[in-house]
C-alpha cells in the first residue's frame, strides 16, 4: 500500500486556502474562514480518506505576508553561491530570521520542503503585483511540483487572463479553475487529474481518488433522493379526522388545520437537516456556511396561498398531477383537503387518480359526519420543489462559502416542471395508507409496501434532479 500523498496548500494571505480544504475534505468545521487577513497562523493538517484509508494529507499553511522582503534578504545573504535553491532555503530556515521577522514565511517554506506537491491558491480578483512574483520565486526555489488553483474565477472582478500570463512566465502551465465557495461540476476530478500529470509516479492512487469521489457523489445523491421521497410519502399519507362539530366551528377547524401545517413543516425541516448532514454541513452554521435558500425560505409556509398559486403556475397547463373532477364532487367533498381555501380540485383529482377506494372512504366518512384533512397536491409540489432546490444548492456548495444561497427561480423549463409533477404522481398511493405516516408512535414499523413506494418515488426524484441539472 502506497503512503498517503502529502500536499501543502499555499498562497497569499486571504486567497481562500482554508476554504479550498474545507471543500476538498467536506469538513465545514476545519480551520477558520474569515474575510479578515491572516486568519491561519500555523500549519494545520487535515486528511482525505478513501475507502476508510488516508489517501491525502493536506497541510493548510499561513499566508505569505512579506515575500518581497524575504526574497531581497535571500538575494543579499552571504551564502555559498554553489548551493542549489532548495539548499539555500534550508540554510535560511536554520537561521535566526526564520524564527523572527520572517516566521510566517518560514512556516510555509518548511512545509513545502516536506511534501510531494503544493496547491498554490490564487485569488484571481487580485491585481498582479510584484509581491506575487516574489512568492512564485520563493515557491519555485523549493523545487516541488506546484499546481496553481485559480479561486473566485466566477467573480466579475476576476483577472484570470493576467494571472495565467504571469503563471506561464514562471513555467506554471497547468492551472485549475476552482471556486472554493461554489465549485464547478467536475472541478475535483480536474484538480486531481492535473495533479497526476505533475506526479506521474502517483498517478494510480490519484485515479483511485477520482473514482472514489465520483462513487461517493453518486451514493450521496441517491441517499438524498431517498430522503426526499420519504418526506413526500410521509406528507401524502398524512391525514387527520375531525368531527362534524369541529368542522362547523371555524376556530376549531382552523386550529386543526394549523396543527397539520406545523406537522408537515416539522417533517420538512427534519428532512432538510438530514440533507445538510448528508452533504457535510451543520444546521447552525449561520455565519460560516449559511444554507437557508434565502432569508425566510428556511421557515417557508408550504401552504401559503401565494406558494400554492405559484405551484399551479409551475405545473402549467397539461402537467396536472391528478385527474379533473366535476363541481358535484367538489361540493360533496368540500373541506376534505388543505390548501388556499376552496381550491380542492388537485387533492380530489389525486384521490380519483388512485381509483374509487380512497374516494369511497371519503364519501363514507361524509355520511358519518367525519371530515378529513389531507395535504393537497399543490402543497406537495411546493414541498418537492423546495427540497429539490436545496439539494441542487448543496451539490454546488463549497464548504468554505460564507454567503447565503440564493433561491432558484420558479421552474420554467417544461421538462423540469413535468419531472416535479411526476414525483407527486409517484407518491399518490400513500394517500390510501394513513398508517404509513411516521410519527411519535413507539411501535411504528415501516410496511414493506411503503419501503417499495419510497424507493420507486426516489427514482422519480433522481430523474427530476438530473433533468433540472441538465437544464440549468
In tens digits, the chain (472 residues) has pLDDT values of 578 999 999 988 778 888 788 878 877 666 444 444 444 457 888 888 888 888 999 998 888 878 888 888 888 766 667 788 899 899 889 988 888 888 888 999 999 999 999 999 999 999 998 888 999 999 999 999 999 999 888 888 999 999 999 999 999 988 888 776 656 667 788 888 889 989 989 999 899 888 888 888 899 999 999 999 999 999 999 888 777 777 778 888 788 878 888 888 888 888 888 888 888 776 644 233 333 332 333 344 555 555 555 555 555 544 455 433 222 232 233 333 433 333 333 333 343 334 344 444 554 455 455 677 788 787 888 888 888 988 888 887 765 555 555 445 555 577 888 888 899 989 989 988 888 998 755 566 788 999 999 999 999 999 999 988 887 6
Q: Copy the grid coordinates of residue 190.
A: 480536474
Q: What is the DSSP letter of 124?
A: T
Residues 235 and 268 reside in one and the same domain: yes
| Nearest of 170, 46, 182 to residue 120 by alpha carbon | 170
pTM reported for the whole predicted model:
0.74
Single out the residue in 166, 198, 230 at which a domain terminates. Answer: 198
Residues 130 and 270 reside in one and the same domain: no
Residue-by-residue DSSP string for 109-125 = HHHHTTSSEEEEEEETT
Q: Copy the grid coordinates of residue 388.
A: 429539490
In a domain, 169, yes or no: yes
CA distance 368 to 359: 14
CA distance 26 to 20: 10
Residues 233 and 189 reside in one and the same domain: no
Question: For position 173, which CATH number holds?
Answer: 3.40.50.300
Domain count, the chain: 2
In a domain, 83, yes or no: yes
Whether the Cβ atoms of residue 360 and residue 432 lie closer than 8 Å to each other: no
Residues 338 and 268 reside in one and the same domain: yes
In a domain, 417, yes or no: yes
Residues 290 and 426 reside in one and the same domain: yes
CA distance 345 to 336: 11
Residues 55 and 152 reside in one and the same domain: yes
CA distance 193 to 209: 10
CA distances in angstroms from 132 to 18, 65, 386, listed in the order given: 19, 10, 44
Residue-by-residue DSSP string for 454-468 = HHHHHHHHHHHHHHH
In a domain, 99, yes or no: yes
In a domain, 208, yes or no: no
Q: What is the DSSP letter of 406?
A: P
Q: How many CB atoms lie within 10 A of CB 409?
A: 7
Q: Copy the grid coordinates of residue 230.
A: 420519504
Residues 192 and 225 reside in one and the same domain: no
In a domain, 214, yes or no: no
Q: What is the DSSP letter of 355?
A: -
Residues 193 and 228 reside in one and the same domain: no
Q: What range does the domain containing 298 cover?
A: 220-471
Single out the residue in 198, 231, 252 at which a domain terminates. Answer: 198
Residues 129 and 20 reside in one and the same domain: yes
Residues 48 and 150 reside in one and the same domain: yes
Residues 105 and 249 reside in one and the same domain: no
Residues 130 and 171 reside in one and the same domain: yes
CA distances in angstroms from 368 to 242, 335, 357, 373, 375, listed in the order given: 11, 15, 17, 15, 22
Amino acid at each position: 500500500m502506497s503512503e498517503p500523498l502529502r500536499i501543502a496548500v499555499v498562497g497569499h494571505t486571504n486567497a481562500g486556502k482554508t476554504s479550498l480544504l474545507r471543500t476538498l475534505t467536506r469538513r465545514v468545521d476545519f480551520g477558520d474562514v474569515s474575510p479578515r487577513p491572516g486568519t491561519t497562523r500555523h500549519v494545520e493538517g487535515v486528511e482525505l480518506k478513501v475507502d476508510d484509508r488516508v489517501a491525502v494529507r493536506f497541510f493548510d499553511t499561513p499566508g505569505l505576508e512579506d515575500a518581497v522582503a524575504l526574497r531581497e534578504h535571500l538575494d543579499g545573504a552571504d551564502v555559498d553561491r554553489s548551493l542549489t535553491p532548495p539548499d539555500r532555503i534550508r540554510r535560511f530556515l536554520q537561521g535566526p530570521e526564520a524564527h523572527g521577522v520572517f516566521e510566517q514565511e518560514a512556516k510555509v517554506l518548511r512545509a513545502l520542503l516536506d511534501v510531494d506537491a503544493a496547491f498554490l491558491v490564487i485569488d484571481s480578483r487580485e491585481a498582479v503585483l510584484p509581491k506575487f512574483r516574489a512568492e512564485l520565486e520563493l515557491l519555485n526555489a523549493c523545487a516541488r511540483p506546484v499546481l496553481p488553483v485559480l479561486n473566485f474565477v466566477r467573480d466579475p472582478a476576476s483577472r484570470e487572463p493576467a494571472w495565467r500570463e504571469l503563471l506561464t512566465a514562471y513555467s506554471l502551465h497547468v492551472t485549475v479553475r476552482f471556486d472554493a465557495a461554489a465549485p464547478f461540476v467536475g472541478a475535483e476530478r480536474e484538480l486531481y487529474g492535473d495533479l497526476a500529470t505533475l506526479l506521474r509516479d502517483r498517478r494510480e492512487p490519484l485515479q483511485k481518488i477520482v473514482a472514489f469521489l465520483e462513487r461517493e457523489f453518486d451514493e450521496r445523491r441517491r441517499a438524498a433522493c431517498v430522503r426526499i421521497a420519504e418526506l413526500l410519502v410521509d406528507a401524502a399519507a398524512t391525514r387527520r379526522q375531525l368531527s362534524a362539530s369541529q368542522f362547523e366551528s371555524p376556530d376549531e377547524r382552523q386550529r386543526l388545520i394549523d396543527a397539520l401545517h406545523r406537522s408537515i413543516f416539522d417533517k420538512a425541516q427534519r428532512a432538510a437537516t438530514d440533507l445538510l448532514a448528508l452533504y457535510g454541513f451543520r444546521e447552525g452554521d449561520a455565519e460560516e456556511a449559511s444554507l437557508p435558500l434565502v432569508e425566510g425560505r428556511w421557515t417557508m409556509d408550504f401552504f401559503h396561498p401565494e406558494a400554492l398559486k405559484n405551484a399551479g403556475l409551475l405545473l402549467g397547463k397539461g402537467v396536472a398531477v391528478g385527474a379533473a373532477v366535476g363541481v358535484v364532487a367538489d361540493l360533496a367533498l368540500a373541506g376534505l383537503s388543505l390548501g388556499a381555501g376552496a381550491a380542492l380540485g388537485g387533492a380530489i383529482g389525486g384521490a380519483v387518480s388512485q381509483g374509487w377506494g380512497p374516494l369511497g372512504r371519503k364519501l363514507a366518512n361524509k355520511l358519518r359526519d367525519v371530515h378529513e384533512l389531507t395535504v393537497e397536491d399543490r402543497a406537495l409540489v411546493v414541498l418537492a420543489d423546495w427540497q429539490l432546490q436545496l439539494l441542487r444548492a448543496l451539490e454546488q456548495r463549497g464548504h468554505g462559502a460564507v454567503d447565503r444561497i440564493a433561491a432558484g427561480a420558479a421552474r420554467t423549463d417544461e421538462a423540469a416542471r413535468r419531472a416535479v409533477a411526476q414525483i407527486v404522481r409517484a407518491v399518490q398511493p400513500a394517500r390510501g395508507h394513513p398508517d404509513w405516516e411516521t410519527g411519535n408512535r413507539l411501535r411504528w414499523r415501516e410496511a414493506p409496501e411503503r419501503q417499495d413506494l419510497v424507493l420507486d418515488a426516489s427514482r422519480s426524484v433522481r430523474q427530476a434532479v438530473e433533468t433540472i441539472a441538465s437544464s440549468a
